[in-house]
């Protein structure tokens, strides 16, 4: 399709295989440039004096997590290439305190043509809801 050039695909991997199968059917995205984005949440725990802050995941765990996420994203990317997705496909993993805000700000800032998100048949969470309510970009909610 001519007009959907830059597309961000938000991936959370909880229903990874089902998402992939559903996404493969979307022929109209085969020529678009896709950015596979995984947003991991960082939690900070403040102690009583509010000086000491513990972050989770901690630095070492974060590195391991990041590595795992990139492995999964790359696997997803390879599957798409095998299915003749011809546009550029990039992978990105980001850590943020608020994944939904980050996704929303990111797609508005980059002026993406379409934000793709996945939901199970009967349920979608606050992430999708937030994006639909606050982002200015078009949204495709794919149900597995």
Partner 1 sequence: MTFPQVTVIAVDSAIAASLLAPVHRMEFLADSEIHMVQMIQKVQFGDGLSFNVAFALEEDESVIEKAVISKMEQISKSILPYTFTGKIHYKCLFGDEPKADFCEYLKQVKCELVLIGSRQKHGLFESSFAKYVVRHAPCSSFVLKPREI
Q: Binding residues for partner 1, per CB under 8 A?
A: 1-4, 22, 25-28, 113, 121-122, 124, 128-129, 132-134, 136-143
Distance CA 57, CA 65 (A): 8
CB of 69 to partner 1, least distance (A): 24
Residue 81 Cβ, how far from partner 1 at the closest point, in Å?
19
Rounded distance between C-alpha atoms, residue 83 and residue 100, angstroms: 29
**How far, CA to CA in Å, does 68 sit from each of 77, 100, 102, 103, 135?**
14, 21, 21, 20, 29
- Pick 24 or 94: Cβ nearer partner 1: 24
Q: Which is nearer to partner 1, 26 or 42 (CB)?
A: 26
Q: Whole-number minimum distance, CB 72 to partner 1, in Å? A: 22
CA gap 41, 56 in Å, rounded: 9
């Amino acid at each position: 399709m001519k007009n959907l050039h830059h597309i961000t695909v938000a991936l959370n991997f909880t229903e990874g295989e089902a998402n992939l199968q559903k996404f493969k059917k979307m022929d109209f995205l085969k020529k678009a440039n896709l950015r596979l984005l995984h947003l991991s949440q960082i939690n900070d725990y403040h102690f009583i004096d509010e000086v000491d802050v513990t972050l989770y995941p901690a630095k070492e765990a974060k590195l391991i997590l990041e590595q795992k996420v990139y492995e999964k994203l790359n696997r997803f990317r390879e599957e798409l290439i095998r299915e003749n997705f011809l546009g550029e496909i990039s992978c990105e993993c980001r850590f943020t305190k608020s994944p939904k805000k980050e996704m929303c700000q990111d797609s508005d800032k980059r002026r993406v043509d379409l934000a793709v998100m996945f939901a199970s048949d009967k349920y979608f969470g606050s992430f999708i809801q937030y994006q639909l309510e606050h982002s200015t970009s078009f949204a495709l909610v794919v149900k597995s």
